[in-house]
Amino acid sequence: MSLGELFTIQRLIKEYCVQEGWVNRRTGVVLTPTAIDLYDFNYNHICVATVPDGATLEVAEAQFLGKGWTVRRSDASRTIAEGVVKESED
């Protein structure tokens, strides 16, 4: 990675971190631009850009999930994935 690329990443972090409410990939804690490492940058910026239409999550048991609801997939110690319901089958 070149110095120029690192400066570009720094600019993107300053521009989008607070505006988009970036969170720590392990804890879910809201980040500030000075608290981000490259793993958090990847989680909050690169991964989002590579799946712009989101991912489909199918639940094992029938349940109502309303449009706009936040859904989290977690294990005992961390959030694995988080998203917002864009459409729901009634």
Same domain, 81 and 68: yes
**pLDDT tens digit sequence for 13-66:** 999 999 999 998 888 899 999 999 999 999 899 987 777 676 666 677 767 778
Q: Which amino acid is at 87?
A: E
Q: How many domains does the chain have?
A: 2
Q: For residue 33, what pLDDT is reported?
A: 96
- Shared domain for 44 and 58, answered yes or no, is no
- Domain of 67, in residue numbers: 54-90
61 with 43, same domain: the answer is no
Q: Are residues 24 and 34 in the same domain?
A: yes
Residues counted in the chain: 90
- Give how far Cα 86 sits from Cα of 36, 45, 64, 68, 70, Å: 28, 20, 13, 6, 10
Residue 40 and residue 24 share a domain = yes
Residues 78 and 58 in one domain: yes
